[in-house]
Structure 1
Amino acid sequence: MEFSPVVVNKLVQLWDELEAFPVEQATEANVHLMKTLATWLDSDYAYWCGLLRVVDGNAAEEDPLGGWRVRVSEPYKLPQIYEDHREEILENQHLADTVGAASIAIMREAGNFRVRRLRELVDLSEYEKSAHFQKLQMPYGLTDRVYIVTPVNEDTESCFCFELAGDDGKRFDSELTDFVGTALRSVRWFQRRLFLSHGLVVGDEIFSEMERRIVLLLLTDKSEKEIAIEIGRATSTTHNYVTGIYRKFGVNNRAGLMAIWLG
């Protein structure tokens, strides 16, 4: 798909803005990215999910999501009902009624970059009759969703979702969604860093909030003592956290950690 010079300049400006964020500000950069793309799409909601393959082989074939699970997420704007049912959704991703027909359909294409609107994945007239839709999406008036999914490696995929809601029946424009897809496809490096900031890509266990704070501070020029002061922990406790983080990433020092971060 070809874009005009004006549109290309918008893309380049966004990529430059994203690169300007310090590596330790992954979440802030992600919020900026989602806010920008949501504005382009005029969407009501936007959120990011980090997907991890946790089941392989025959078991995956019988699994609604093909063995994939949402392990981490970061919202820009999230429907409140998703927050209200967050634990239930995360714990029951092995159930078709919990994840819904659209999520099942989008994960059948795992391993490929894809931009899919809701009506490209399901028959909307049937989808809107489902218990999943009536429980989780009808309350806030979902009218359309677009999934933009980027494989990060064979076991991780990065999914950005944008939603429209209201009583006016709004739908996403195909050219705009392709434009936003181009913006995201070109920043796979950034999506990989999102996974790293949560402890994924190199492992399958997500960081605790404290571990995530520390790993991001390790990417700055702060000493361990300064990090300990900032997080309100003893130097020895902080050092134990740091050692554990290095072990998880298979490195011995900050230089090794930064090398992984920069790819």
Structure 2
Amino acid sequence: MTVETIHRLWDDLSDFDVSQSVAAAAHLMAALCGASNAWNGTWAGAIRLADATCLDPLQGWRVGAVQALHAIEPHPDEGHFKEILRVWDRREIDPSFLLPMRGVGTFRTYSFRRELPAEWFASDFYARHYGSVGTHDAVFVAFPLNDDCESHFGFYSTRTFTDEEIALLAYALRGIKWFHRQLLLGCGLLLASTPLTSTEREVLQLLLTKAPEKEIARNKGIAASTAHQHVTSIFRKFGVRSRAELMSLWLNSGG
């Protein structure tokens, strides 16, 4: 993948409507997996909770949303990756969990084979969560949006990533701050007072298409009153009073 190809990929992303963030992220991950010989990719939105204690080695960070390019059987959707996150939330600290803590708040890359000791690859944790599905190495690119919110892309390979591949991934993800912001907005992780529920995220995507509430209700198979409750909750969490104000958050997302 050349620099020009990466720039065309950025152009592709800008052609997706704001309601198509899931599809846009999948398009980006598929392109970068192909360019780096990775078999799978993930995106995760991370937030830092205000009530973190000084004894927390993960500094209050939680993963508020995750999207995988390819589901891993037998887990539906992102179940395999969410299993790892449940261990994270229980604070059962694995050495791999400490990698993203290095340089928090800065743009950075981190990877398994470059930064974890050889004995980690003989651990039960690696065998269960990575080796069992064919992951030999993983590399991550972290983009901070503010002190308490970061966007992380992960790529998984059956071999060790080269320095050139890691540099390519970093370059491709460094120049699209607007897109990282859009992904985090879509999950309610950047401006919302409370992260959106999975149903609210689905309703939000429909709201951004300008679909009326009755159409949202039909699409989701729920009562119109229930759809209205979800819309009201979304507005409250984002601190807006109308769909126009909600849309403006995306329209003003440049930079």
Q: TM-score, normalised by structure 2?
A: 0.88
- SS across alignment from 2:169: helix
1:185 aligns with 2:179: no
Alignment match, 1:77: 70
Alignment match, 1:161: 154
Deviating more after overlay: 193-202 vs 229-238: 229-238
Deviation, 1:27, is 0.3
Query: Gapped runs of 5+ residues in structure 2?
Result: none
Paired residues for 1:72-221 under 5 Å: 72-80=65-73, 88-94=83-89, 98=92, 100-123=94-117, 125-165=118-158, 170-203=159-192, 205-221=194-210
Query: Gapped runs of 5+ residues in structure 1?
Result: 1-5
CA distance in 2, matches of 1:81, 1:178: 33
Given that residues 46 and 78 in structure 1 are in contact (C-alpha distance below 8 angstroms), is that contact kept between their aligned partners in structure 2? no
Provide Cα deviations, 1:66-110, integer angstroms capped at 9, x if missing partner: 2212221000025448866655533331566x4521231222221
- SS across alignment from 1:14: helix
Alignment match, 2:237: 248
CA distance in 2, matches of 1:74, 1:132: 21
Supply the RMSD in Å over aligned alpha carbons: 2.3
- SS across alignment from 2:34: helix
CA distance in 2, matches of 1:121, 1:143: 13
Matching residue's letter, 2:212: S
Given that residues 195 and 201 in structure 1 are in contact (C-alpha distance below 8 angstroms), is that contact kept between their aligned partners in structure 2? yes
Provide Cα deviations, 1:137-178, integer angstroms capped at 9, x if missing partner: 23234321111011122111111111112xxxx211112211
Q: TM-score, normalised by structure 1?
A: 0.85
Matching residue's letter, 2:65: V
Matching residue's letter, 2:29: M
Deviating more after overlay: 24-33 vs 172-181: 172-181
- SS across alignment from 2:94: helix
How many residue pairs are counted as aligned between the two chains? Answer: 250
CA distance in 2, matches of 1:120, 1:56: 33
Provide Cα deviations, 1:207-260, integer angstroms capped at 9, x if missing partner: 233212221111123222322332233333322221221111111111110111
Deviation, 1:131, is 3.1
- SS across alignment from 1:109: coil
**Structure 1 residue ranges (4+ consecutive) displaced by more than 4 angstroms after TM superposition:** 78-88
Matching residue's letter, 1:155: D
Provide Cα deviations, 1:112-131, integer angstroms capped at 9, x if missing partner: 101223233222x1221333
Matching residue's letter, 1:152: L
Alignment match, 1:68: 61
Provide Cα deviations, 1:7-42, integer angstroms capped at 9, x if missing partner: 221011100110101100110111001000000001
Alignment match, 2:37: 42
> Radius of gyration: which is bigger?
1
Deviating more after overlay: 19-28 vs 220-229: 220-229
CA distance in 2, matches of 1:210, 1:117: 33
CA distance in 2, matches of 1:226, 1:78: 29
Given that residues 192 and 201 in structure 1 are in contact (C-alpha distance below 8 angstroms), is that contact kept between their aligned partners in structure 2? yes
- CA 1:118 to 1:88, structure 2 compared with 1: closer, same or farther past 3 Å? closer
State the percentage of identical aligned residues.
36
